Amino acid sequence: MTCELTLRDVRSVARIVNLAHRFNCRTTHIAAAVGDAATTARFAFDGPPVALTRLRAQIDRILEYDV
Amino acid sequence: MNGAQAVVAALEREGVETIFGYPGGAIMPLYDALYEHPVRHILTRHEAAAAFAASGYARTSGRVGVCCATSGPGATNLVTGLLDAMMDSVPVVAITGQVRSELMGTDGFQEADVCAITQAVTKRNVLVTSADAIGPAIAEAFALARSGRPGPVLVDIPNDVLKAAVTDLASPAATPLARKAGPRVSVDAVRDAVARIRSARRPVAIIGGGVRAGAVDLYRLFTALLGLPHTATINALGAAAPGDPSYLGMLGMHGLKAANKAVQRADLLIALGMRFDDRVTGKPDRFARDASVIHADIDATEFGKIVSADVTLHGDLGATLQALVDELARGHVPRFDDWAAEARSLGGPLPSDHVEDSVLSATDVLDRFFAALPPEAIVTTDVGQHQMWAAQRARPTHPRRFATSAGLGAMGFGFPAAIGAQFAHPGTPVFTVVGDGGFQMCLPELATLRRYDVPVKIVLIDNHNLGMVRQWQELFFSQRYSATNLADNPDFVAIARAYGIDAYRLESPADADHLIGRFIAASGPALLHCACHPTENVWPMIPAGMSVDELMEARR
């Protein structure tokens, strides 16, 4: 699973990596560019489909609160 | 104005009248600003109690609960309460002091990276690095705590920032959150949902904690319009209109038989503001196997998380219910009275263990207690057997009149939450039902009751056991009672009296009605100590990970 995210709070990058680890997913790629107002981050994860679905839902929740 | 005064000014702008907390070194400037200030600070005897009290305040009032603590241990003691608020979608703002900016990263005295620690238990947290940023940070914290699916937000402020002068006194601008509109439920999805309701033969509605977002009247209208059998999660007890014959009671592991069986027989589930917790579904692939599912929630991440939905309604629950009612009114409005009567017949009286006549039964005490409560009473519970017995028996007249740590199941919640509830509702009778285990996690809050003369009344179900764990050990761990026996409990009545609290000792069933009556009528804070049978279990029970097919009504 890959996702490209725009995050207001750069700390969310670490939060997402922690969540992936918690759900038994492997973070295979991270690239982030930190700007003045937002961070653009690209992730790639491997893992069981159910875990990836759960991870995606949690990422969506982080994005919802990252306003 | 310094940073600490800016905090208090920001709280005033948010309409905060009461905050719960505990002082310490790093947050002393804030306590100085609170000195003789109209914002009332309630000193709890532990920071965890401050967080739970803020939660009780918020759960029962709908307003944002506020707690504060110092850096390091003060802040970390809030963590359980913040997670509890996160799990049950309760708007709480926590303000923590932090060590001076120059000390951060030096392992300074009482230093903790509280933002890192609380990242997983808050919607968001922020470390404020300048006094000018305090006002906007607190405004944003309140906006985020209230918005969408409510929850906790933490604002961490270093000691030097609290002491620094504010140079920009302008009111904080409206935050991006305050301007952000919530999701609007799709018209097509509403039409699809109504079409499924019209063609259903055995629909059941499940209401969850989302109903607290101002949707109670519309929920009652919706279910009454259809004569719809309906059930509630523990966070939504009180959503049904009092006396509603189509209401089947609480759903889930210790829910009522009619509710669980009706859901299992349903051909359509209308899940409203609930999240299919494992304590509700048991084994998900055996949960309501014949039902299609309409799932309404403000949090889109709940869709498909546990149970797949055929129709999703993403939006505010009140607006969603209004849209469903309006769409129904445009055509045929089906009635499900016959199915509701059939669903009711799937239940029966609540099963309970036989307890010899001379010994106090917890279920009997709670039956009598809830029968005697005035309808406006607010009840909080702690966590364990007494919580489930109370949830089965309580008949709150509104979801904000019953508060419990549902998702997290945090022992030590009930008593401080009742204190918070009482401050939110000064003229309302507030009770807490606690067990002997959880009560001992927050005993010092008796001092809070006494200091502020808070008339909270405590029903202590003392069975000399960590009863729920003991029950599981009996049923699933070959009766190996490891670390659950509390036979050496202290004299709780003497403890209460030592704090200056009236206390009643209930030991005989023959005295129950009389003592319960005196206790409820007491004018100030009081404790009713109920010396109950040690091995009474909670029934019915669907064992964890099982389905309604394995429902137990007694020991096997």
List the domain boundaries for chain B. 3-179, 187-345, 362-538
Please give the structure tokens belonging to residue B199.
């063609």
> CA B402, CA B425: separation in Å to the nearest integer?
13
Q: What Rg do the C-alpha atoms of chain B give, in angstroms?
A: 24
Cross-strand partners of A43: A3, A30
Question: With helix as H, strand as E and coil as C, how does B34-49 read?
Answer: HCCCCCEEEECCCHHH
Domain B362-538 grouped into CATH 3.40.50.970: yes
User: A50: alpha, beta or left, given left = phi > 0 and alpha = psi -120 to 50?
Assistant: alpha
Nearest C-alpha neighbor of B401 from the set B388, B417, B412, B384: B417
Best mutation site among A23, A62, A66, A67 for testing chain B: the one with the most B CBs within 10 Å?
A67
Residue B175 has a pLDDT of 62
DSSP letter at B511? Answer: G
Q: How far is CA B556 from the centre of its chain?
A: 32
DSSP per position, B226-266: HT--EEE-GGGTT-SPTT-TTEEEE-STT--HHHHHHHHH-
Contact A61 B115 (CB under 8 A): no
Please give the structure tokens belonging to residue B105.
């990263």
B187-345 and B362-538 share one fold: yes
> CA B128, CA B4: separation in Å to the nearest integer?
12
Residue B168 has a pLDDT of 79
Supply φ then ψ for residue B432, to 5 degrees: -130, 135
Q: What Rg do the C-alpha atoms of chain A give, in angstroms?
A: 11
Please give the structure tokens belonging to residue B278.
């494992």
Cross-strand partners of A45: A27
Q: Is B123 on the interface with A (CB under 8 A)?
A: yes
Assess contact for B16 and B37: CB atoms under 8 A.
Answer: no
Q: Report how far apart, in Å, the C-alpha atoms of B180 and of each of A39, A40, A64, B13, B144 are.
A: 20, 21, 11, 20, 10
Residue B180 has a pLDDT of 66
Low-confidence ranges of chain B (pLDDT < 70): 169-180
Residue B487 has a pLDDT of 97
Match 């209308």 to its residue by tokens.
B270
Contact A58 B301 (CB under 8 A): yes
Chain A residue with Cα closest to B126: A9
Residue B36 has a pLDDT of 85
Pairing of strands B457-462, B430-435: parallel
Residue B178 has a pLDDT of 57
Higher-pLDDT residue of B192 and A66 is B192
Nearest C-alpha neighbor of B488 from the set B416, B431, B413, B437: B437
State the smallest CA–CA distance between residue B224 and chain A in angstroms: 34
Strand, coil or helix: B53: helix
Contact A64 B176 (CB under 8 A): no
The answer to whether the complex's ipTM is over 0.90 is yes
Which one-letter amino acid corresponds to residue B204? V
Give, for A57, the enclosing helix (H) or strand (E): helix A49-65
User: B38: alpha, beta or left, given left = phi > 0 and alpha = psi -120 to 50?
Assistant: alpha
Give, for A56, the enclosing helix (H) or strand (E): helix A49-65
Assess contact for B529 and B503: CB atoms under 8 A.
Answer: yes
> CA A65, CA A47: separation in Å to the nearest integer?
25
Q: Is the pTM of this model over 0.95?
A: yes
Q: Which residues of A touch B118 (CB under 8 A)?
A: none
Assess contact for B42 and B72: CB atoms under 8 A.
Answer: no
Residue B195 has a pLDDT of 98
Q: Is A27 on the interface with B (CB under 8 A)?
A: no
DSSP per position, B424-449: H-TTS-EEEEEEHHHHTTSTTHHHHH
Give, for A39, the enclosing helix (H) or strand (E): strand A39-46
State the smallest CA–CA distance between residue A28 and chain B in angstroms: 22
Supply φ then ψ for residue B496, to 5 degrees: -60, -45
User: Which of B180, B301, B305 is opposite residue A67, by nearest beta carbon?
Assistant: B180
Q: Is A67 on the interface with B (CB under 8 A)?
A: yes
> CA B214, CA B199: separation in Å to the nearest integer?
29
pLDDT tens digit string along B162-174? 999 999 766 665 5
Nearest C-alpha neighbor of B419 from the set B388, B457, B459: B457
pLDDT tens digit string along A18-52? 999 999 999 999 999 999 999 999 999 999 999 99
> CA B293, CA B268: separation in Å to the nearest integer?
6
Residue B555 has a pLDDT of 84
Contact B301 A65 (CB under 8 A): no
Contact B124 A53 (CB under 8 A): no
Could you tell me which CATH class the domain B3-179 is placed in? alpha beta
Residue B177 has a pLDDT of 62
Instruction: Give B 168-187 residues with CB within 8 A of chain A.
Output: 176-177, 180
Supply φ then ψ for residue B469, to 5 degrees: -65, -40
- Residues with Cβ within 8 Å of residue A51, at least 6 apart in sequence: A23, A24, A25
pLDDT tens digit string along B244-286? 999 999 999 999 999 999 999 999 999 999 999 999 999 999 9
Q: How far is CA B477 from the centre of its chain?
A: 30
Please give the structure tokens belonging to residue B194.
């109504």
Chain B residue with Cα closest to A57: B301
Q: What is the mean pLDDT of chain B?
A: 96
Domain B187-345 grouped into CATH 3.40.50.1220: yes
Count CB atoms within 10 A of the CB of residue B374: 9
Chain B residue with Cα closest to A16: B120
Contact B305 A58 (CB under 8 A): no
Which one-letter amino acid corresponds to residue B500? G
Chain B residue with Cα closest to A50: B305
Chain A residue with Cα closest to B179: A67
Q: How far is CA B418 from the centre of its chain?
A: 11
Chain A residue with Cα closest to B118: A15
User: Which of A15, A54, A64 is opposite residue B148, by nearest beta carbon?
Assistant: A64
Nearest C-alpha neighbor of B292 from the set B185, B202, B190: B202
Residue B549 has a pLDDT of 87
